[in-house]
Amino acid sequence: MAPSQPDGLSDGHQETATQVIIIGGGLSGLQAAHDLQELGVSCLILEARDRVGGKLWSVPLGEGQGYVDLGGAWTNNENQPKVTALAEKLGLQMIRQNIIGDCILEDYGRFPYGSEPPLSREDKATFVEVRSRVEALCHTVTIADFDQVLAEYGHMSMDELIICMGATDTVRRLVNIWTTAMLGIESTQISSIFFLHYCQAGGGLLQMRSDDAGGGQHLRFRNGSQSLSYGLRDGLEPNTVIYSAVVERVEQGLRSGCRVITRDGKKFRCERVICTVPSPLLKQIAFWPSLSADKIWLSTHSELGFYAKVFLIYTEPWWRKLGLCGLSQGFHGPVSLTRDASNDQDGLFALICFVVGQRGREWAQKEEPDRLAEVIAHVDRIYGVKIPRPVETREQIWNEEEFSQGAPCPVVPAYCLRSLSQDQWRPEGFIHFAGTETSPVWKGYMEGALTSGSRAAKQVFDILSTS
């Protein structure tokens, strides 16, 4: 329904005015607010939840007993410069990911970190070949040649692409672990071109999958990744963040900027809006006038994978005593991957289990005690021993969060990639877009979120300072 005063906007009742309204207090929104305020631009963040951080959520286990990261956790200090600079500025202590000891592949057994899994000779040769071809391809796809790339690969899922490369059944199952662990979507369901492009943004498949120096999973934060969000928020002017402010409507006037209305009826006037909500959630905000066809198309068709984390917490790292590093991969569900999520300094020893993709969706339908029992039983099978019972557990299902609806990053089907390449997240009138998925680097990661926040803030500042 059209608002009653589309151009004048103000109905004169209790509107809070500021230069820029930022929708969302995740990392991208906080970074945008930080940059704007540094440049002397006033802004407010409207955050739907009662906390900042969005997909970063670090939960303390008890006084001095460390934190578990229910959302994003890992970074590295070689090719994620914005996260690194912020962590250093805030004086955050980092934990290096444990890679000492063997990994395990379900059905195949253990192998040293960094070497090939103990597959049959044919599977191993094919796996190495497929992995290096995917790595090479992800560095060559460019959005500039989109038509050509789409014509070549646009019709293929990731599974179909690797079948063309000669993947055996085992290799197909291994590649399915890549796509589910990285995006919560099965390799049969994800567009090959999207996946290649996603890998390109993270510096390549190998870099993203690595737990070693420079890899996507090299470092964690001793006090949890949400410390980044708290640090950014604490550097903002007081009361910049308005909590439990669910934006439901954004109206633009022809001359007079925007009016933003929240679920509880609060109204805000501003010259510009920076919207940081993940694209599938855009359709829950009524934009007037409506967004362009490209954005509507993206918002309607981009999808969030299934992503849950289950922490098994112990008094000691039993896997290390077995000569294992905690990294394991499972084929038969519900667990796709485990990693060591310990914080030795605080006496926290944990295995994090990733329950992702279609098997995760089915698992999530069960009652909580059954879900936990299934996870533990599967880790028993992966490790080939009855693992010690955890003293404590934590579970987080991101698809059940109203303001995330899945994680870690929206996935765009091939038939929408043209809209994305045309649109490039361009502003719509007075509305600008940020959020990790809009970043050309480390899309889906904290680094991408910070990069996008700074880009949007600069865009807005440049316009405001010339107008």
Ligand X SMILES: Cc1cc2nc3c(=O)[nH]c(=O)nc-3n(C[C@H](O)[C@H](O)[C@H](O)COP(=O)(O)OP(=O)(O)OC[C@H]3O[C@@H](n4cnc5c(N)ncnc54)[C@H](O)[C@@H]3O)c2cc1C
Query: Which residues does the annotation place in the binding site for substrate?
Result: 354
Could you report how far apart the first and last alpha carbons of the chain are, in Å? 31
SS3 387: coil
- 278 lies in the site for ligand X, by CB under 6 A: yes
Looking at 125-133, 317-325, 367-375, 445-453, which segment touches ligand X (CB under 6 A)? 445-453
Looking at 33-41, 171-179, 193-201, 439-447, which segment touches ligand X (CB under 6 A)? 439-447
- 259 lies in the site for ligand X, by CB under 6 A: no
How far from 112 is each of 158, 170, 206, 323, CA to CA, in Å?
A: 27, 19, 17, 10
Residues 78-97 that bind ligand X (CB under 6 A): none
CB of 308 to ligand X, least distance (A): 8
CB of 202 to ligand X, least distance (A): 9
Tell me if 311 sits within 8 A of 341, measured CB to CB. Answer: yes
Question: Is 150 or 285 the residue whose CB approaches ligand X more closely?
Answer: 285
As beta bridge partners, residue 45 has 22, 241
How far from 123 is each of 157, 172, 205, 416, CA to CA, in Å?
A: 21, 10, 19, 34
Rounded Cα distance, 278 and 296, in Å: 13
Q: Which residue from 33, 407, 412, 460 is in contact with ligand X, where contact means CB under 6 A?
A: 407
Looking at 9-17, 102-110, 151-159, 270-278, which segment touches ligand X (CB under 6 A)? 270-278
- Crossing angle of helices 226-234/27-38, nearest 10°? 30
- 408 lies in the site for ligand X, by CB under 6 A: yes
Joined tokens for residue 130? 């497929």
Residue 104: closest CA among 331, 291, 258: 331
Question: Is 28 or 459 the residue whose CB approaches ligand X more closely?
Answer: 28
- 449 lies in the site for ligand X, by CB under 6 A: yes
Tell me if 261 sits within 8 A of 247, measured CB to CB. Answer: yes
Rounded Cα distance, 264 and 256, in Å: 23
Question: Is 207 or 276 the residue whose CB approaches ligand X more closely?
Answer: 276
- Count, residues near ligand X per rule CB under 6 A: 40
Task: Please enumerate, by residue number, every residue annotated as part of a binding site.
Answer: 28, 47-48, 247, 354, 437
- 49 lies in the site for ligand X, by CB under 6 A: yes
How far from 385 is each of 106, 274, 372, 423, CA to CA, in Å?
A: 12, 51, 17, 52
Question: Is 47 or 123 the residue whose CB approaches ligand X more closely?
Answer: 47
Residue 148: closest CA among 421, 424, 412, 411: 421
Contact flags string 309-348 toward ligand X, x per CB under 6 A: x---------------------------------------
CB of 220 to ligand X, least distance (A): 8
Looking at 36-44, 65-73, 108-116, 341-349, which segment touches ligand X (CB under 6 A)? 65-73
Tell me if 69 sits within 8 A of 343, measured CB to CB. Answer: no
- Crossing angle of helices 192-201/121-140, nearest 10°? 70
Half-sphere exposure of 65 toward its Cβ, with a 13 Å CA cutoff? 11
Q: Where do runs of H (alpha helix) occur along 241-326? A: 279-282, 293-301, 318-321
- 130 lies in the site for ligand X, by CB under 6 A: no
Question: Is 245 or 348 the residue whose CB approaches ligand X more closely?
Answer: 245
- 48 lies in the site for ligand X, by CB under 6 A: yes
- 26 lies in the site for ligand X, by CB under 6 A: yes
- 277 lies in the site for ligand X, by CB under 6 A: yes
- 137 lies in the site for ligand X, by CB under 6 A: no
Interface residue list for ligand X (CB under 6 A): 23-29, 46-49, 54-56, 71-75, 246-247, 276-278, 281, 285, 307, 309, 398, 403-404, 407-408, 435-436, 444-446, 448-449
